[in-house]
A and B are shown apart, each in its own frame.
Chain A
Amino acid sequence: MTGLGDRILGLGLLVLAVAYGWVAQQWPEPFGGAETVGPETFPTILSVVLVVGSLYLMVKPDPDAQWPVGKSALELVVSLVVLVAYALLLEPLGFVIATTMAVGTLSWRMGANPKPAFMTGLLSAIVVFVLFNYGLSLSLPAGLLEVQ
């Protein structure tokens, strides 16, 4: 079956659209009575648009895009994992450690040698941290490096 990717995407979007629209119908009527345009009107329109769009996608999908296979697919997964891990570890580990690891890993995976890659990560992390904390007085989490 051609266009499998689009059909799966369409199905996922259909579920999302229905859920989104259904949630909108559950809101309590706002104080002061119902009006023509309530909080649910716009989301309802959107959900209808998305339902139509996702159905169209399932009925008339584009030919499958060339999905990356093997090594480059793995690289993509690694990048995504790094990004998610970065978001989760930012507070517990602190900005400098988390950023060093994230930037280092990504630069390494993009083809730099590991050592310069992690040095780049460390340097950029420190520069940004100092700039933000002292230059702009926007505190980034220090995490493990916090001085009590």
Chain B
Amino acid sequence: METIGYLMEGFAVALTLNNLMYALFGAFVGTLIGCLPGLGPANGVAILIPLAFTLGLPPETAMILLTSVYAGAMYGGRISSILLNIPGDEPAMMTCLDGYPMARNGRAADALAISAVASFAGGLIGTIGLILLAPVLARFALSFGPAEYFALFLLAFATLGGITGKNPMKTVIAAALGIMISTVGIDISTGTQRYTFGVLELYEGIDFILAIVGLFAISELLFFVEHRMGSGRDKMSVGKLSLSFKEIVSTIPTQIRGGVLGFISGVLPGAGASLGSFISYTLEKQVIGKKGKFGEGDIRGVVAPEAGNNGASSGALVPMLTLGVPGSGTTAVLLAMLISLNITPGPLMFTQNADIVWGVIAALLIGNLLLLGPEMEKNLAHAMVLSDGEWSILWGSPLAMGLWIFASLGLALPYLVGPILRRRMRAAIKETPVSD
């Protein structure tokens, strides 16, 4: 399984102390940004790009930072949804539907806890999907020539309609305007000055990131000013955590369904996390049927969209990393980041910059784990209370046992297998001539 080997290599990149710290920082800042109403992952990542640049981070660290922000923001979006009924971003909207009623019923703590678990499950499923699917797609895409790429970019612009919605013609116009901005500067292949009007500053063109950050920040500002509402909201008491382990277990099927669906919709270009959380919620409603109390604070109504949107956020990375086509607004920003780091995303990246790709994927896994940390502690305390301080409850059930085995394997493998694999890989790289 070369994929596993690459992943372990990725862990080796992501688990260096430095990168781990950036991942933690990114996850923390991302969660904060996600909590703020109106600020979503796309803005969060866009805002932090200059930081990544000014710190002079190496590419893999910068990507790890931003991916963690991405994961964190997806995760943080649920907090304001549940407590204030204000979604932090579009995908978190579905969480409001049952999260806010749960909070009103005095189960805010439960809603937060279960949504954290669901986010984690969704993120994990999505990342596993990413690990499995990405290399296959990348290999397939290696046979792409310039013509296929042009078609692919056209397809990507066409599917942009999925993000922007109502009038496809307006999307076409916006896309054309965007590309027009990119034509300012000296033409790469001929050296002709295009639209510079003799202004020296325009010779190098207009920086992609500059444009993106400006657009996101200014549109957000104007939107905020227009929709500013000074009305006070009901104070919400978080309440005691009364979530039982049984309840968490009972939602596992929901988590898996949500995560898988979310991942699939994330992979589709232009669909992204909003669709992921939406169809996860809808499907769950169909599956449970009238037995559930959706819309009135059903716990599965929180689990499904959370698992869905986190699954989708990993899924959206698949087309971005393998084809260089973003699956959502946030991945578009990440793509811009990669391009300005002089790395061309796409199939070649898997061979030329394997450390970055797999480092990012591993960071995504770690980011999910870091976010789960506080919840883990809470659950530990909870389990201890249930069992009168009997530690054995932690590995009492077969399910928990299985999870433990996986956890220990995951912890031990990089250390055991990593060095061997790295040696093998180095040998393999020497053998195969690098073709450009």
Contact = CB atoms under 8 A, between A and B. Distances in A.
A7 B189 CA distance: 37
Nearest to B56: A136
B225 interface: yes
A49 B192 contact: no
Nearest to B187: A39
B399 to A, nearest CB: 48
Interface stretch (A24-32, A89-97, A116-124): A24-32
Contact of B192 (A39, A53, A62, A72): A39
B226 interface: yes
Interface string B163-206: 00011011011001101100100010111111100000000000
Given A39-B192, A53-B173, A76 B226 contact: yes
Interface string A8-34: 000001000000100110011011000
A30 B194 CA distance: 12
Contacts of B179: 46
A50 B226 contact: no
A38 interface: yes
Interface in A36-69: 37-39, 42-43, 46, 49-50, 53-54, 56-57, 60, 62, 68
Contact of B169 (A20, A46, A57): A57
Contacts of B402: none
B169 A56 contact: yes
Interface residues of A, number: 36
Contacts of B405: none
B54 interface: yes
A48 to B, nearest CB: 9
Contacts of A76: 222, 225-226
B166 A54 contact: no
A132 B358 CA distance: 31
B173 A68 contact: no
Contact of B180 (A30, A50, A54): A50
Q: Which of A39, A50, A80, A109 has the most CB of B within 10 A?
A: A39
B180 A79 contact: no
Contacts of A54: 173
A20 B221 CA distance: 29
B225 A42 contact: no
Contacts of A111: 228, 230
Nearest to A24: B194
B147 interface: no
B218 A23 contact: no
A27 B167 CA distance: 35
A85 interface: no
B226 A43 contact: no
A127 interface: no
Q: Which of B176, B194, B218 has the most CB of A within 10 A?
A: B176
B192 A28 contact: yes
B148 to A, nearest CB: 17
B55 interface: yes
A50 B179 CA distance: 11
Nearest to A42: B183
Contacts of A13: 173, 177
A81 interface: no
Interface of A: 13, 20, 23-24, 27-28, 30-31, 37-39, 42-43, 46, 49-50, 53-54, 56-57, 60, 62, 68, 72, 75-76, 79-80, 83, 106, 109-111, 132, 136, 138
Given A53-B173, A80-B222, 7 more contacts: A13-B177, A28-B192, A37-B189, A38-B190, A43-B194, A60-B169, A72-B225
Interface of B: 54-55, 166-167, 169-170, 172-173, 176-177, 179-180, 183, 187, 189-195, 218, 221-222, 224-226, 228, 230
15 contacts: A24-B194, A27-B192, A27-B193, A28-B192, A30-B191, A38-B190, A39-B192, A42-B183, A46-B176, A50-B177, A54-B173, A62-B167, A75-B225, A79-B225, A83-B218
Closest 4 CB pairs of A and B: A39-B192, A30-B190, A39-B187, A53-B173
